[in-house]
């Protein structure tokens, strides 16, 4: 099994979508994580169906697979980032509408998954009320996904109401463990916010893992970095994906690097190929294996961790670069 690498279109915000897809394909990526937003396949602009068909044709021409991302910052409110969301005091139905539009777009494009998150719980709102709001909204989206045969992948996002893999599993439990609600995992978020290693979280999600985002980060800070600039052990992370037989797209998530998108995308793919080769070589040398981060001791100490725990929440918001109070500095996810 070979890992399939993609690149997020939110990292090509200065490119027309058609040009971004051409560059991503030309560099040798297998797919794209397409954020539906005003620069790229605006879900609220006229002629959405015809524009979606045209994008589908272009993806087919370029032989690119696709997942749909829904973390556009200001697509619903020009003043407030990521608002309204699924746990907001008001306007939650507008977020549900956006996500249902994304599900229909994903179905039209033959996407592997539609990824979304909870949003940030307003101050003074109880966790019980947060869960009530969230489960109601996600249930409505899942109804549309079920009609369209789409997989939804829920992302734990630092600073948001659901910010760990354990929280996603709790959400699934509260909804009756629906098969078409699965997990998005950002490997950088693990370093920034989870108690365990990337491998711990990959194994915690197991066969529910439906979408992977790739980037680098440092502990306690929600800032998406190029590979090698943070603390993510990339060979170990990719080795964990190989270990569980992950077959979905694993897409680079660098939304603030659009000023140099082609060069960053090229460097990222080079790093990913080198890291995958290193992980594979280590797997073939059992006498000198790469440390994939999963040990009896790490599982005993770190995972599965309880819902509600996160490094960022445990420490406070940390470095200002993290900007976790408004729902994640780099959410694109």
Instruction: Pick the closest to residue 227 from 259, 266, 284, 278 (CA basis).
Output: 266
The pLDDT confidence band at residue 120, using thresholds 50, 70 and 90, is very high
Who has greater pLDDT, 216 or 294?
Answer: 216
CATH code at position 149: 3.20.20.150
Q: Is the pLDDT of residue 159 over 90?
A: yes
- The model's pLDDT over 177-218, given as tens digits with 9 standing for 90+, comes to 999 999 999 999 999 999 999 999 999 999 999 999 999 999
Q: What is the mean pLDDT of residues 296-301?
A: 38
- 308 occurs within a structural domain: yes
pLDDT value of position 322: 45
- 305 occurs within a structural domain: yes
- 256 occurs within a structural domain: yes
The pLDDT confidence band at residue 311, using thresholds 50, 70 and 90, is low
Who has greater pLDDT, 80 or 286?
Answer: 80
Number of domains composing the chain:
1
- DSSP, res 329: T
- 333 occurs within a structural domain: no
Q: Is the pLDDT of residue 294 over 90?
A: no
Q: Is the pLDDT of residue 324 over 50?
A: no
CA angle 256/94/49 to nearest 5° reads 80
Q: Please state, rounded to an integer, the average pLDDT across all residues of the chain.
A: 89
Q: Is the pLDDT of residue 140 over 90?
A: yes
pLDDT value of position 297: 41
Calculate the CA 225 to chain-centre distance.
Answer: 15
The pLDDT confidence band at residue 258, using thresholds 50, 70 and 90, is confident
Q: Is the pLDDT of residue 329 over 80?
A: no
- 331 occurs within a structural domain: no
The pLDDT confidence band at residue 1, using thresholds 50, 70 and 90, is confident
- 202 occurs within a structural domain: yes
- The model's pLDDT over 32-69, given as tens digits with 9 standing for 90+, comes to 999 999 999 999 999 999 999 999 999 999 999 999 99
pLDDT value of position 283: 84
CA angle 38/39/41 to nearest 5° reads 70
- 183 occurs within a structural domain: yes
pLDDT value of position 331: 46
Using CA atoms, how far apart are residues 320 and 318, in angstroms rounded to an integer? 6
Using CA atoms, how far apart are residues 177 and 165, in angstroms rounded to an integer? 14
Structural domain containing residue 306 = 4-326
Q: What percent of the chain has pLDDT over 70?
A: 86
- The model's pLDDT over 14-37, given as tens digits with 9 standing for 90+, comes to 999 999 999 999 999 999 999 999
Using CA atoms, how far apart are residues 29 and 266, in angstroms rounded to an integer? 9
Beta carbons within 10 angstroms of residue 289's beta carbon: 11
């Amino acid at each position: 099994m070979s890992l399939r690498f993609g690149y997020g279109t939110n990292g090509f915000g200065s490119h027309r979508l058609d040009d971004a897809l051409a560059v991503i394909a030309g560099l040798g990526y297998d797919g794209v994580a397409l954020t539906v937003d005003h620069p790229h396949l605006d879900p609220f602009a006229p002629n959405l169906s015809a524009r979606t068909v045209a994008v589908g044709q272009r993806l087919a021409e370029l032989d690119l697979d696709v997942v749909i991302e829904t973390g556009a910052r200001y697509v619903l409110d020009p003043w407030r980032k990521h608002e309204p969301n699924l746990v907001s005091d008001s306007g939650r139905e507008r977020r549900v509408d956006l996500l249902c539009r994304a599900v229909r777009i994903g179905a039209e494009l033959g996407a592997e998954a539609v990824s979304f998150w909870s949003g940030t719980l307003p101050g003074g709102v109880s966790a019980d009320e947060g869960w009530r709001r969230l489960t109601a909204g996600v249930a409505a989206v899942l109804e549309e996904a079920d009609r369209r045969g789409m997989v939804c992948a829920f992302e734990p996002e630092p600073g948001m109401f659901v910010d760990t893999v354990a929280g996603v599993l709790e959400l699934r439990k509260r909804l009756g463990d629906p098969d078409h609600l699965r997990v998005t995992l950002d490997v950088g978020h693990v370093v920034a916010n989870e108690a365990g290693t990337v491998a711990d979280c990959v194994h915690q999600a197991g066969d529910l893992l439906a979408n992977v985002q790739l980037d680098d980060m440092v502990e306690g800070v929600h800032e998406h970095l190029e590979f090698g600039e943070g603390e993510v052990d990339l060979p170990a992370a990719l080795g964990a994906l190989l270990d569980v037989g992950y077959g979905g797209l694993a897409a680079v998530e660098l939304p603030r690097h659009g000023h140099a998108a082609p060069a960053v995308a090229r460097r990222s793919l080079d790093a990913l190929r080198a890291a995958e080769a290193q992980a594979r070589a280590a797997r073939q040398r059992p006498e000198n294996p790469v440390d994939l981060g999963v040990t009896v001791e790490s599982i005993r100490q770190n995972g599965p961790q309880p819902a509600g725990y996160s490094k960022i929440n445990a420490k406070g918001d940390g470095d200002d670069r993290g900007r976790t109070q408004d729902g994640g500095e780099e959410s694109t996810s």
